[in-house]
Amino acid sequence: MPKVWKKLAGAGPFMMMVLGGAAAAVGFNLLLIPVKLLSSGVSGVAMIIGYLSGLSIGWLYFALNLPILLWGYRVLGRRFIMLSIVNVLATTMFLQLLPERPFTDDRLLAAVFGGVLVGLASAVCLRSGGSTGGLDIVASIISRYRDLPVGLLVVLLNTVIVAALGIVKKDWNAALYSMLSIYLSGKVIDLVHTPHHKVTAFIVTNHTPELVSQLLTLPRGVTILRTRGAFTSEEKDMLMTVTTRFELAELRKMVRGVDPKAFVNVVQTIDVIGEFRRRPP
């Protein structure tokens, strides 16, 4: 029985990727696409091209994600990219299987519920250690090698995508409703996952060498502090590391794998002054 449970636990994140893909496809095909609205990032680009050319948005979504996934495979962790690939494939498959039928003709309702559903799908994937591809992978790569305002870059890119819809289709109502949908998707991700692009983890453990060697593969610096419990007077090490929300799920998995009894406190990090990345680009 223990082996069965381990297999189920290992398959859990992959199942969440498939469920996230199904949820995103429902948001696209039943809410956003029938009323010609956009999602954020790569999916938004695929939608614009699909609206103008009549090509399959599902296959465009896959084709645009493919080079980004290959780039991420070379730069990021193998597990993160493998989970992201599962999600992109699942989303593409469900986009092909589900009919594009309007659940509602009201663009406001479609924007609100479509944005919430797509945001929930993205948040579930991030919490499970993967992503929905596209901008999530680009942001993860940027945040690993450059301390840049990733959130601002994503907002600017989405603004360009939405503006392109308004200019090309001459439908500014659709552009504004799309912006509302993208905003709600971001808020749902913030609510379910974390609103902060950088977080600080304080980890109290008795397995310092093993855990440090694992954490340094993220790659982030780790500071070791000697602590003593007020109640037990027992001395332990506390590891402090600053990471990004794209790597938070992997950090949780590392800690649980090395020391399931470790005490972990994750707090928001407003700013980092000094060297944030550990290795040069």
Q: What percent of the chain has pLDDT over 70?
A: 84
- Is the pLDDT at 195 greater than 60, yes or no? no
pLDDT band at 165 (very low <50, low <70, confident <90, very high): confident
When the pLDDT of each residue in the chain is averaged and rounded to a whole number, the result is 80
Distance (Å, whole) CA 224 – CA 235: 13
Residue 179: CA count within 13 A, CB half-sphere:
15
Tell me the Cα Rg of the chain. 20
Tens digit of each residue's pLDDT (9 = 90 or more) over 29-38: 999 999 998 8
Report residue 252 as tokens.
Answer: 């949780």
The pLDDT of residue 196: 52
Checking DSSP bridges between strand 235-244 and strand 223-228, what pairing results, if any?
A: antiparallel
DSSP 201: E
pLDDT of residue 93: 94
Q: How far is CA 233 from CA 227, 237, 272, in A?
A: 9, 13, 32
For the ranges 30-39, 88-97, 189-198, 235-244, which has the lowest average pLDDT?
189-198
Q: Which amino acid is at 254?
A: M
The DSSP letter of residue 207 is -
Summarize pLDDT for 52-92 with one digit per residue, the tens. 898 999 999 999 999 988 888 877 767 788 888 999 999 99
Instruction: Tell how far CA 180 is from the center of its chain.
Output: 19
Give yes or no for a contact between 147 and 272, defined as CB atoms under 8 angstroms apart.
yes
